[in-house]
Amino acid sequence: MQRPEVIVVGASAGGVEALVELARGLPADLPAAVFIVLHLPVDARSMLPTILTRAGPLPAQHAVDGAPIHPGTIYIAPPNRHLMLDGSAMRLTIAPRVNGVRPSIDVLFRSAARAFSSRVVGVVLSGTHNDGALGLEVVKLRGGVAVVQDPEEARFAGMPLSALKRVQADYVAPVAEIPALLTSLTWGDTASPSEGRQPALAGHREEGIAPVDRDPTPTPPDTQPSPLDPLSAEEKVPDAASGLTCPNCHGSLWELTDGPLPRIECRVGHAFSVDAFLGQQAIALEEAIWSAINALEERSSTLRRFASRFGGSLRMKEDYEQRADLVASQARLLREGLARVIQAEEDGRAS
């Protein structure tokens, strides 16, 4: 394995504390550049560069579109911009959201893997949902190293668990141990993990770093496919559409399963892993049902309002009240049905 030149890190909820711990432990002479995506609201003001600069010896700054890459520096994706690497420089884009977020960890990881092949270490830290899992698999497919924070000590275990379900990680470690591992890898002291085992997805706890066997005969990076790359115009022909609808823009979706990673993308570029798509679809379904409940309850209220104005016509008043009761009962049934659907989704994710 070539000595890594780029470390890409993804974090979400609970990620600031993990990133501070990471920055605190990295040495001032780290011979690699560090790139970070932290999920933030689009209108948030990111203070992460200041926080990380104060936490450790490496300078931290927001990535700048077109700027060159320097080792020993931490670069952070600004809010509402995808961060990508093209080998000689960093790029910021306002491309469509991936897995419902911008910046996306998957976007950073896949671009780093494409540009640097086996000279990449991907790190997934605390967070909810599953952004980063597919990107980390691309890092592995290109010959890089996959590192995941131990889910048991992560403040939010969703992202580490999703990554471990998707990827045979090379190392699973408490965040306090990850800086020493990254330093060792980038200085070439640890060319590959020693004999180890894939950790369990629950109940896993090791003292220090848990190495995992890597594939001894990976496909050469230059012959590997490029999963998660945007679909070409030729692939987005009308008769190849999946029949599914994009939960963001409501356009047609294309589903490709010919490569190692299933991917779903709409015409304009909204892209999803399967789990992320199902999650966004569930949100859209819930919002549609809430909209229907609101319309029914509003109609029931309107019928009752007009029923109260028919004081001189008992028949009209009773007719409006009966219709209002019927519509209210329909709204109530929808509420109860929605609660059952949400509970079933939660039970399915927990199993």
Q: Which residues are catalytic?
A: 12, 39, 131
DSSP states of 62-123: E--TTPBP-TT-EEEPPTT-EEEE-SSBEEEE-PPPBTTBSS-HHHHHHHHHHHHGGGEEEE
Q: Give the count of alpha carbons within 13 A of 117, CB side only.
A: 12
Residue of 162, 159, 158, 150 lying closest to 199 (CA atoms): 150
CB neighbour burial string for 268-282, b if at least 16 within 10 angstroms, e if fewer: eebbbbebbbbbbee
Residue of 129, 123, 130, 131 lying closest to 150 (CA atoms): 123
Residue of 255, 259, 248 lying closest to 99 (CA atoms): 248
152 CB-near residues (< 8 Å, 6+ apart): 203, 204, 205
Residue of 15, 282, 248 lying closest to 126 (CA atoms): 15
CB neighbour burial string for 317-329, b if at least 16 within 10 angstroms, e if fewer: beebbebbeebbe
Q: Give the count of alpha carbons within 13 A of 91, CB side only.
A: 13
Q: Give the count of alpha carbons within 13 A of 61, CB side only.
A: 13
> Helices (DSSP H) in 173-273: which residue ranges?
178-186
